[in-house]
Structure 1
Amino acid sequence: MRILTRYVLREFLVPLVYCLVGFLGIYVLFELFDSFNRILEAKPPVATVAAFFAGYISPYLEWLIPAALLLAALYTMWNFCRHSEITAMRASGITFLIIVRPLLAVAAVLAVAVTLINEFYAPWASERARDLREARFKEVSDKAFEDIPFYNQPAGRVWRINRMSAANPNLLEGVRLSCDRPDGSRLVDITGSKAEYLDGMWWFFYPKYQYFDELNNPIENPTPTVAAMPLRAFPDLDERPRDFLLMNKAWEYYTVRDMYHYLATHPHLTRSEVASKTFDIHARLAAPFSCLIITLFAIPAGVATG
């Protein structure tokens, strides 16, 4: 790495770290005013408190990081111009692109970091922070969901689940599955004490069947031999455990992949709902680019003010 590159990088990273730490400190301080008494009462481990604040801050990083880049780039370029360093560098035959390349490289790295945080960390970490706050900072060993409905409209199937655990979503307790014909009439109701997702398919334990004719009148089971089986696999069911978990998540805790999957499996949404959710997807995808755009804006602005 060239000496000039190291110098520009150092002059840029110092104010960047100061700005970012300052912004994060403000957010932590405001949240601490609200949560301090709860933390004192619960006396959670330090790791739990750190995880809470990390999860609380994570959704805001897509705004805080570009803001820190803006201020740091403005200050760096202003400081260079104030001391005529830009003029000296240009007089030495160094192009302006080489001078600002470290700033753009840092912005690109942080843009990738924002992308990874938004997709792989912020959704579940911020949800865990919310759960900790609601539980008054007491760890919940097994978070369970009850009375979960799930409608797979393209396949004509309705699931009703009595209970499922967030720690083990592959196991469903008290399952009722209703399958409809293409014309909308009921084909069969399948109930089971539990269902488990194993080897890429659903297995029902002690299933019971109720078939219907085209007029929705109950009829006898056409396959009594199959009905007597205590365990049966259903390879045609394409629902996955995460589909049911998403029904219990707020939209803000979805990843981009979850958002796309939700739209694909819910074609009955209104146009306004689809437009709103599509906007959220595009906003999530566009957030990392703000790091680069705002840095490109700050560089000439800092030179002009200097």
Structure 2
Amino acid sequence: MKLIDKYILKRYLATFSVMLLLFIPIGIVIDVSEKVNRMIERKAPFNEIIIYYGDFVIYFANLLFPIFLFLSVIWFTSKLANNTEIIAILSSGISFKRFLRPFLLGATIICVFALLMGFFLVPKASKGFLDFRNAYLRSSSYKTMETTDIFRQIGDGEYIYISNYNLMSKTGFNFTYEKFKENVLIEKVTSNRIKYNEETKKYSLYNYIKRGVGKNNDVLEMVDKKMVDFNFEPEELTPVFYIAETMTIGELFKFINKEKKKGNTRINAYLVVLYKKFSLPISAFILTIIAVAVSSMKRRGGMGVNLAIGIVIAFTFIFFDKVFGTIAENSDFSPLLAVWIPNIFFGILAFYLLRNAKR
């Protein structure tokens, strides 16, 4: 590695680190000012608050690292351009492509680091961060949220349906259980209300009706209340909407395969989380190329113009990422395509800007 490569790579990583260290404390201060009253009201333990802000740092550093990376590259590349260092480098016979090499090396280091963080560390931090918010910062109405029209496959040929389910009381209404053998219905259970019992680990079914389907006649059983041991946990009925964010890469693959078999209607939301673990780190390369192409030219307005352009591009990238992710979560739009559209669009932009920068 030549001296110029070490110089640029050192500036790349140092500026990115400083950018994180500058903005994250600001985020913590803003969060504390907004949430301190609720923390006091809910009597959040001090040690849990400290752990929460440790998780907060990791969670938001991962969430906003494309913006921090982009702005940091814009910042120090603009300084190089304003000091005519880039002109001197290119005038010495180094091509723009060769000048770009240490930037791409820095992007590779950030990409690998972001991948490992997203696979293993960020899920644990997300769990602590989101659990704390739900326990001490969310409104009580959020905690009693109900879900509707739940379909699940709970075993081989076994299916259940619940029209309404309350997360807190673990109570459901209009419950139906069906068992099939070789695609033929052999048993059906219906109940007006189903409630999970924490002590017995069984379900109480009210207005219980069981129909055993036979070749010649059916067997009917009707009681006001009956305790039944089903092969599913209450948490499996309505996985918390953010559960995918709290899983390591191996756990997430297993969870998605399991939920596909159960017919979970929120499967696209989990796939978006999975695909973003790969697409977000790759954006480090695209945003680095755009940042260098935009800021390597010395402009009349100086660094301020480059930063303004950089902020617009960075927030447009985040906007695309959020919009297409939300579309995929709430429609039949391909989650894989939705997650990669920002990278594809800005990849084309990076190629165009790089061609002009070389000229």
TM-score, reference length from structure 1: 0.60
Q: Distance in 2 between matches of 1:305 and 1:50?
A: 45
Identity %: 18
Q: Do structure 1's residue 109 and structure 2's residue 109 form an aligned pair?
A: yes
Q: Distance in 2 between matches of 1:75 and 1:268?
A: 45
Residue 157 of structure 2 corresponds to which residue in structure 1?
156
State the Cα distance separating 1:71 from its structure 2 match. 1.1
- The answer to whether the 8 A contact 1:12-1:72 is kept is yes
Distance 1:194 1:135, change over 3 A: closer
2:284 maps to which of 264, 285, 291: 291
Q: Which runs of 4+ in 1 moved over 6 A?
A: none
Residue 223 of structure 1 corresponds to which residue in structure 2?
none
TM-score, reference length from structure 2: 0.53
- The answer to whether the 8 A contact 1:52-1:128 is kept is yes
Q: Distance in 1 between matches of 2:87 and 2:258?
A: 55
State the Cα distance separating 1:299 from its structure 2 match. 0.6
- Map Cα deviations across residues 170-197 of structure 1 (whole Å, 9 max, x no partner): xxxxxxx974322233289xxxx669xx
Structure 1 segment 213-252 matched on structure 2, within 5 A: 213-214=213-214, 217=219, 247-252=237-242
The structure in which a higher percent of residues are helix is 2
Higher relative contact order (CA 8 A, sep 6+): 1
Residue 184 of structure 2 corresponds to which residue in structure 1?
183
> Where does the alignment leave 5 or more consecutive residues of structure 1 unmatched?
138-148, 161-176, 196-209, 220-236
Distance 1:292 1:304, change over 3 A: same
SS at match of 1:180: strand
- The answer to whether the 8 A contact 2:73-2:291 is kept is yes
> Where does the alignment leave 5 or more consecutive residues of structure 2 unmatched?
138-149, 162-176, 190-199, 203-209, 222-230, 300-359
Residue 3 of structure 1 corresponds to which residue in structure 2?
3
Q: Distance in 2 between matches of 1:97 and 1:216?
A: 78
Distance 1:250 1:134, change over 3 A: closer
**Aligned length, in residue pairs:** 236
Q: Distance in 2 between matches of 1:298 and 1:5?
A: 17
Distance 1:133 1:194, change over 3 A: closer
SS at match of 1:69: helix
State the Cα distance separating 1:113 from its structure 2 match. 2.9
SS at match of 2:296: helix
Q: Distance in 2 between matches of 1:119 and 1:159?
A: 33
Distance 1:124 1:265, change over 3 A: farther
State the Cα distance separating 1:301 from its structure 2 match. 0.5
Name the Cα RMSD after superposition: 4.0
Of the structure 1 ranges 72-81 and 126-135, higher mean CA displacement relative to structure 2 is found in 126-135
